[in-house]
C-alpha cells in the first residue's frame, strides 16, 4: 500500500527523520565484525566473503550520484583501517575508460536501487576484465546489482521515495564502515578492543542522530537566508569533503540553487575569487586533526567579506559573530562523524527548497533511478 506521510510535509522530510530507525535496522543482527555479514544466504564457503577478503589486495568502488559520495567517504575508512589501497570511480566514467585491471581487486558497487544502468554496466565491465570478487551494498534485495554480485550487504533503509537520497546514503555509509572494519579484521589490523569500541559507536548512532535532528529549528533559520541566494559554496576536508559534495548536490537537486563543493585547502586555487557577501559558504567543521587548517581556511573567506555557515562540533571553539553563523553539533564522533554531519545538510537543502516552493520530492528533470544511459 501507499507509504503514509504521517506528520511530515514531504517524503524527503519523513525519510530524513527515519534515519535513526534505518540505521538501527541495518545494524540489526550485527553481533560481531565478520565476513559472513557480506555473504548471500546459502553461499558456500568457497564463494563466500571470507575467501574473497583473504585474497584481495585492493578495493575499487563504483557508483553514481549520492552513492558515489558514500564511496568517497569509504575510501578513507578502508585505507585508514584496513591499509588496503582503495579507489572510487564514477560508474559512467569507469566503464568507458581504459583502466588497469587487477584480479585481486574487491569490486564494490554502491546503489540504493540496484538498477542504475551505469553502475550495472560498470560492474559487468569489471567482470569482463577478470575481476570476479564483486560486492553490492544495496537497498533492494531483488535488484539486478544484488543478484549479479557474488557478495552483498543489504542496507535496510526501507522504501525511499524522495528523488534526493537521504536515508539510503547514511545506511550505505554504515554498510561501508562495516566493510572497512571487516577488511581490517581479515588483515589482522583490528584489535578486539577496537572492534568492540567501533561496534559500540555504531550502535549509539541512532541516538546521536536524534540529537542532530533536534537541530532542525536552527537549520530552518539558515534556510530562510538561503532561499534568496543563487549560489552557494560548500567546504569540507578529509572524510568530510565528500559530505560537503553531497551537501552541494542536495541543494542543487531540490532547491535549484547553484552549489559547488571544495576541499577547503583548494580555496586559494580558485574559488576565493568568487567569494562575496552574496554567496553563503557552508562549512563542515568536525573537531578532528584538520581543524586548525580549516580555521585558517575560514579566515580566508571572512577576510574577503564572505558569510560563513559553519556546522561546528562541540569543542571546536568556533563561535558565532559578524558574518559567521554557527550551529553546534554534538561531540565529535570520530571516524563515523560524516554520518552525523550529512544530516543537517540534508535538512538545509530540504528547508531551502520548501522556502523556494520547489517540488521537493520530484525535482524537475531528475529521476529516482536512472535505468537508461
Instruction: Determine, following the binding rule CB under 6 A, whether residue 370 of this chain makes contact with ligand G6P.
Output: yes
CB of 362 to ligand G6P, least distance (A): 10
CA distance 195 to 31: 11
State the catalytic residues: 368
- Find out whether 337 and 286 touch, Cβ atoms under 8 Å: yes
Site string for ligand G6P, 139-168 (x = CB under 6 A): ------------------------xxx---
| DSSP codes of every residue in 295-338 | HHHHHHHHTTT-EEEEEEETTS----BTTEEEEEESS--GGGHH
Instruction: Determine, following the binding rule CB under 6 A, whether residue 71 of this chain makes contact with ligand G6P.
Output: no
CB of 111 to ligand G6P, least distance (A): 3
Nearest to ligand G6P of 26, 119 (CB atom): 119
Among 36, 159, 303, 366, binds ligand G6P (CB under 6 A): 366
Nearest to ligand G6P of 53, 241 (CB atom): 241
CB of 320 to ligand G6P, least distance (A): 33
Q: Which of residues 112-131 bind ligand G6P (CB under 6 A)?
A: 112-113, 116, 119
CA distance 299 to 276: 14
At what angle are helices 216-226 and 337-356 packed, to 10 degrees?
50
The piece of 61-69, 81-89, 287-295, 349-357 that touches ligand G6P (CB under 6 A) is 61-69
For cell 562575496, the residue is 276
For cell 535488484, the residue is 143
Among 13, 19, 26, 67, binds ligand G6P (CB under 6 A): 67
CA distance 319 to 259: 25
CA distance 62 to 90: 6
Q: Which of residues 165-184 bind ligand G6P (CB under 6 A)?
A: 165
The SS3 assignment for 172 reads helix
In 10 A of CB 211, how many CB atoms?
13
Instruction: Determine, following the binding rule CB under 6 A, whether residue 27 of this chain makes contact with ligand G6P.
Output: no
For cell 520547489, the residue is 358
Nearest to ligand G6P of 145, 282 (CB atom): 145
Q: Give the CB-nearest residue to ligand G6P.
A: 65
Among 26, 111, 283, 346, binds ligand G6P (CB under 6 A): 111
Nearest to ligand G6P of 160, 313 (CB atom): 160
CA distance 115 to 62: 13
Among 20, 65, 242, 247, binds ligand G6P (CB under 6 A): 65
Exposed, middle or buried, 214 (CB in 10 Å: 0-12/13-18/19+)? exposed
Give the footprint of ligand G6P on this chain (CB under 6 A).
Answer: 64-67, 111-113, 116, 119, 163-165, 366, 368-370
Amino acid at each position: 500500500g501507499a507509504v503514509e506521510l504521517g506528520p511530515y510535509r514531504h517524503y524527503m522530510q519523513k525519510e530524513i527523520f527515519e534515519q535513526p530507525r534505518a540505521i538501527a535496522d541495518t545494524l540489526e543482527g550485527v553481533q560481531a565484525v565478520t565476513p559472513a555479514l557480506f555473504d548471500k544466504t546459502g553461499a558456500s564457503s568457497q564463494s563466500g566473503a571470507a575467501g574473497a577478503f583473504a585474497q584481495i589486495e585492493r578495493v575499487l568502488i563504483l557508483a553514481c550520484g549520492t552513492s558515489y559520495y558514500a564511496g568517497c567517504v569509504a575510501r578513507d575508512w578502508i585505507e585508514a583501517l584496513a591499509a588496503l589501497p582503495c579507489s572510487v570511480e564514477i560508474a559512467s566514467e569507469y566503464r568507458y575508460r581504459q583502466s588497469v585491471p587487477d584480479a585481486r581487486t574487491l569490486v564494490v558497487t554502491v546503489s540504493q536501487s540496484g538498477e542504475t544502468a551505469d553502475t550495472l554496466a560498470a560492474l559487468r565491465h569489471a567482470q569482463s576484465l577478470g575481476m570476479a570478487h564483486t560486492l553490492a551494498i544495496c537497498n533492494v534485495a531483488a535488484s539486478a546489482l544484488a543478484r549479479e554480485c557474488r557478495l552483498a550487504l543489504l542496507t535496510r533503509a526501507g522504501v525511499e521515495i524522495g528523488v534526493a537520497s537521504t536515508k539510503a546514503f547514511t545506511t550505505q555509509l554504515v554498510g561501508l564502515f562495516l566493510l572497512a572494519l571487516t577488511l581490517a579484521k581479515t588483515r589482522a589490523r583490528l584489535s578486539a578492543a577496537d572492534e568492540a569500541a567501533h561496534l559500540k559507536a555504531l550502535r549509539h548512532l541512532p541516538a546521536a542522530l536524534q540529537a542532530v535532528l533536534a537541530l532542525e529549528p536552527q537549520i530552518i533559520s539558515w534556510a530562510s537566508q538561503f532561499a534568496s541566494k543563487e549560489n552557494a559554496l560548500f567546504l569540507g576536508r578529509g572524510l568530510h569533503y565528500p559530505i560537503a559534495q553531497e551537501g552541494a548536490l542536495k541543494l542543487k537537486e531540490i532547491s535549484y540553487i547553484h552549489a559547488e563543493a571544495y576541499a577547503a585547502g583548494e580555496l586559494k586555487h580558485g574559488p576565493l575569487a568568487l567569494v562575496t557577501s552574496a554567496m553563503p559558504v557552508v562549512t563542515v567543521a568536525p573537531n578532528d586533526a584538520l581543524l586548525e587548517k580549516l580555521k585558517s581556511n575560514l579566515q580566508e573567506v571572512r577576510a574577503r567579506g564572505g558569510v560563513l555557515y559553519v556546522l561546528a562540533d562541540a569543542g571546536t571553539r568556533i563561535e558565532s559573530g559578524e558574518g559567521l553563523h554557527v550551529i553546534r553539533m554534538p561531540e565529535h564522533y570520530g571516524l563515523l562523524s560524516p554520518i552525523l554531519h550529512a544530516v543537517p545538510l540534508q535538512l538545509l537543502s530540504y528547508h531551502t527548497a520548501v522556502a523556494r516552493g520547489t517540488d521537493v520530492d520530484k525535482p524537475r528533470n531528475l529521476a529516482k533511478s536512472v535505468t537508461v544511459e
